Structures are given as C-alpha cells and as structure tokens.
Structure 1
C-alpha cells in the first residue's frame, strides 16, 4: 500500500522545493517513489518543471497535462489513480492555499482509505503567514478545501538567496507557537545545505538543496 505524504502550504512557502528534496532523498535510500505535481492553479514553480532532474534520480513523476507554455490550461492525468495501488512512497505537491487544495479534495476519500501524512509548510517571511495566527487561519482554509487534516508542521522559513543563519533561528519560536496553537507537532526545520553545519543547535534539522529558483536568481 502507498505511503502518502501531502505537502501543502501558502504560495511561495517553498513546498515544491521541499517535495523535490523529499522525493530525491527517498529514492537515494532505494525506495520506490512517485512525486505527484497536483498544482494546476499556479503555472510557476511546479515540481514538473524539474522533470529531468527527478526522473534521472529514479523518481516517477505524475503531473498535470500542460501544453508547451506556462499559461496553458491544465488537466489531471488519469494515471494519478494508480498511486493508490502503488507499493512505495507517494509525495504529493499540493497547489497553494485553499484554492489549490481544492484539487486535492477530489481524492480525499481514497487518500483517507490508504492513510496519509499531511505536512503543512510554513514560512515566517511570507505575507499571510507572517504570524502564528495567520498561519493557523491559512491551514484552516486549506483543510476545509481539501477535506483532510494536517498531521505535522514543517518550518521552511527563508528569504530565498538572502537566507542567513539568523533568518532561520529567528523563525523557531514562530514555528513552535504555530504548532502549539494547531495542536500538531513541529516535525522539522529546513535549512539550505550550505547553512546546515552552522545550525546544529536546532532539533530535527533537515538540510535541503535549493532547486526551485526565480528567473532572476
């Protein structure tokens, strides 16, 4: 039976980059893994934009059927239903906010029957999630749209290429308070791999590579 992990959060929180890292790390362990790009709302920063990297690592990718530009209207491929029969890890990159999460709601019953983890990715440095209270409200909207409940929080606070050690350290209390208000655990904090060696004091630190970048980075 599939081991399903849903990656959800506000637009720009870094969930796509996290989903790619998790898929690649799972593949390195020798486990079969599928990465599902379920974002049919935001035409930018999709997991499927990195298909060559993902496929070369031995990860199967299922993505919306876009045409040859980032602006074509997408549709979900029929093969998405195969994940519920898959014997391995399935990582689903969910569309941002409640609008994107509505797509996930189509599959809520199948996902519940398989069992799942839903990781809520937060970033202190994004509008609409800059405070614990805003982050809590955002998750309530997402859960209502997808008809599933988050099981844990990932602190992915960053400022893109301007991220420093202090950027991440200053986000820890914010992440802990968000988890406290939601009554779900803070699973881990991410940090770019080049900063991770200087952040060993953080409990449950997950070093990541930065694959998803803006055009001007």
Structure 2
C-alpha cells in the first residue's frame, strides 16, 4: 500500500523508463488515500519530454500542489529550481512525491536538498523498463542505481518494474521485466515494491508476483501519441 511508503517518495529512472508517468499515477492514487496535504515536485531539468509539470492544471484540480522550475516557461527546460521544493521536505504535514531527472546529472538536483531529507523519512524508488537499451541487464540497472545514489547522496530503497512498450505492452513484456528486477533485487538486497502496467493487463498477470501490482493510466501521453 502506498500509504505505507515513507512520507517523501523520490522517483528515479532512466530515460524512457516511464518514470514521470509512474510519478503522476502514484501521486494521484496517493491523493485518494491520504487526508492531508499532497505535493509533487518535477525536478527533471534534463529530459524535455513528458514532464509532470505539464499537468499542473490537472494536479491542482485534484488538490495536489505542483512544484517545478522557478521560471514560468513550461515548454522549456531551464536549470532553475524553485525554493518551494524544500517546503514539503520541512513540513511533515505533506505527503511528497519528487520526480527526479533521468541520470546522475539530474540526480544532483535532489542532492542539493538531501541535507533536508531525514534517513527514516524517505523512499527512493528506481523505475526499470527492461525494454530500454540502457537498462536491459542487471549490471546496467545496478550501474544506473549506483550513479544516482552517488550524485544524490541518497539510497534506493525499492524497485519498480515498469517494463512497457506504451500501448503495445504485453504480459510477456511485464514478466520479462519482472525477472530483471528480481535479479537486481537479489544482487542489491533492494525489494521489488511495485509492478506497474496498463490497467487492461492487470487481470492477465499472475497473482503471486513479487511487489504490488500498480495499474497505470497514460496521463503523460495524449491519445494520438
């Protein structure tokens, strides 16, 4: 259950992993399950596509505080981060989700604030898509995790299998990704937290998968994409 995750949830993942899609699905589900304040920060100042900040109006309509670049230019990626990012870190009345850039350079942004994040107050989840060249093997996933940890000064606490081909995703894709994250889990002693997939695939998945099945809606891609 996402309400049992730590108060600050940091979402990392390589380009094309579906990190931002997972983050916005996660925060909208979280909003339904908690009564207090909820915020989502978009700290991805690296990738110019499919950023959570482009869904600010949706987030506001759901009573979720969106926090992004301090420059009001949603179609541009500029290396400026609002000081508001720190507010939910210090204010324990918030449940907080942070969407971090897709590589160790992007992770340096959250590293600027790691002195505000208590060890027992955060989870950092690594989103893995086994269909991406950079994360097709356990060694590559582990290299990615180690680079993010070094840059951010924080530790990955959970793995998310989000192996997909967008709307062409099959059950076989999900299960192949599951084998990969389970291998990484064993090698690194990091638990598999979630198995993310499109809602229509959920009934076809085995019920005994390691990790909680997490149905995904495509918020970040319009119907024509």
Cross-structure match for 2:197: 191
Q: CA deviation at 1:74?
A: 4.1
Distance across 2 between alignment mates of 1:78 and 1:66: 11
Distance across 2 between alignment mates of 1:9 and 1:18: 10
Distance across 2 between alignment mates of 1:88 and 1:152: 21
Cross-structure match for 2:82: 77
Deviations 1:173-198 (A, max 9, x none): 11100111111111121111111111
Pair 1:147–1:210, CA change in 2 (3 A): same
Structure 2 residue aligned with 1:16, among 15, 20, 26?
A: 20
Contact 2:53 2:66 in 1 (8 A): yes
- Give every structure 1 segment of 4 or more consecutive aligned residues whose post-TM-superposition deviation is greater than 6 Å: none
**Does 1:137 pair with 2:143?**
yes
Pair 1:66–1:126, CA change in 2 (3 A): farther
Cross-structure match for 2:3: none
Cross-structure match for 1:107: 113
Cross-structure match for 1:4: 8
Distance across 1 between alignment mates of 2:69 and 2:93: 22
Distance across 1 between alignment mates of 2:119 and 2:154: 12
Cross-structure match for 1:89: 95
Report the 3-state secondary structure (helix = DSSP H, G, I; strand = E; otherwise coil) of the residue aligned with 1:117: strand
Distance across 2 between alignment mates of 1:72 and 1:102: 16
Taking structure 1 as the reference length, the TM-score comes to 0.92
Contact 1:65 1:74 in 2 (8 A): no
Contact 1:66 1:74 in 2 (8 A): no
Contact 2:14 2:103 in 1 (8 A): yes
Task: Flag structure 1 segments of 5+ consecutive residues without an equivalent.
Answer: none
Distance across 1 between alignment mates of 2:98 and 2:122: 11
Structure 1 residue aligned with 2:50, among 37, 45, 48?
A: 45
Farther off after superposition, 148-157 or 48-57: 48-57
Contact 2:53 2:74 in 1 (8 A): no
Pair 1:142–1:214, CA change in 2 (3 A): farther
Question: Aligned pairs, how many?
Answer: 216
Structure 1 residue aligned with 2:219, among 199, 203, 211?
A: 211
Pair 1:68–1:76, CA change in 2 (3 A): closer
Deviations 1:115-169 (A, max 9, x none): 2111011110112111111100111111111111001111111111210122112
**Does 1:164 pair with 2:170?**
yes
Contact 2:130 2:176 in 1 (8 A): no
Report the 3-state secondary structure (helix = DSSP H, G, I; strand = E; otherwise coil) of the residue aligned with 2:133: coil
